[in-house]
Amino acid sequence: MPSQLSLVPPPATRRPAPPALVVVAHGSRDPRALSTVRALLDRVRALRPDVPVHLGHIELNAPLLPDTLAALGDTEAVLVPLLLSRGYHVKQDIPEMAAAAEARTHLAAPLGPHPLLVDALQARLTEAGWPTHMDEATRRTSAVVLAAAGSRDPDAKTDTGCTAHLLAARLGVPVIPAYASAATPTVPAAVRTLIARGRHRIALASYFTAPGRFATECAQSAPWIAAAPLGTHPSMAHLLLHRYDETLAARGTQLQLASA
């Protein structure tokens, strides 16, 4: 007869907890920004309940990123910028804060450019009144200004321009990127350029992650419809997780190469 011990199943091996996902937001004095970001993180948690999701800000709002990382101790974390292009924050601020922390951090790419952002931009434009079907005569007089925050970093302008190109291909009309600060053209200048080209039905696509001063000011310059910021659109949650997953996949490849 088998012994009593042989009838006892072996203890189940516990899978290690996945690395934390730390969403790094810029921060804003507009209270709508913080509530929007928190709601977006709730969407991420609903999609992947197994992943610990945390928030850290670069400035202006608590929790600040260094405080979030300090609370994680020496655990592993993937930092995903809730930013739409490369620039000073992605290249300098976030890496410096990560390097000063005890946590074992991996830095993900910013959200843009990516087709999921174009999905969200198109959906926000449709919500604002952009037609889902457009005849050729209307198409020849329509255009979009892609309003972004702006940066002195040329890579940021390249990334925003790439998103504008992707959105133009999706909509079938010209899309000109414009900026609230630190870069040109401004939204009014972009509108004037399009009008000079015979484009009079000009919509504004809000290339901002959440409501705030820049998004509000840009919307006020829209000659026709102005879309809402990207906010909690489902594509934003999926994109945050995509950046998290691709960063972990790259880490796994690096470990395999190091052990080969």
> What does the pLDDT look like over 182-219, one tens digit per residue?
999 999 999 999 999 999 999 999 999 999 999 999 99
CA 188 – CA 212 distance, rounded (Å): 19
Residues 243 and 212 in one domain: no
> Is 5 among the domain residues?
no
Would you say 121 and 205 are in contact if contact means Cβ atoms under 8 Å apart? yes
Structurally, the chain folds into a number of domains equal to 2
CATH classification of the domain holding 204: 3.40.50.1400
Does the pLDDT value for residue 61 go beyond 80? yes
How does pLDDT run across 155-191, given as a tens digit for each residue? 999 999 999 999 999 999 999 999 999 999 999 999 9
Assess whether 143 and 218 both reside in one domain: yes
Residues 121 and 212 in one domain: yes
Instruction: Give the pLDDT score at 15.
Output: 72
Phi, psi at 151, each rounded to 5°: -160, 150
In a domain, residue 10? The reply is no
Average pLDDT, the chain: 94
Say which amino acid occupies 187: V
Tokens standing for residue 145 = 């200004």
Query: Does residue 11 belong to any structural domain of this protein?
Result: no
CA 218 to chain centre: 19
Looking at residue 16, its pLDDT comes to 77
3-state secondary structure of 114: coil
Selection from 98, 92, 20 nearest residue 54 by Cα: 20
Place of tokens 């959906």: 123
**Residue 13 reports pLDDT greater than 80:** no
pLDDT surpasses 60 at 260:
no
CA distance 163 to 146: 9
Domain that holds residue 154: 115-226
Q: Residues of the chain with pLDDT > 90: what percent?
A: 90
Per-residue CA distances from 155 to 84, 89, 95, 152, 190 (Å): 11, 12, 17, 9, 20
Establish if 8 belongs to a structural domain.
Answer: no
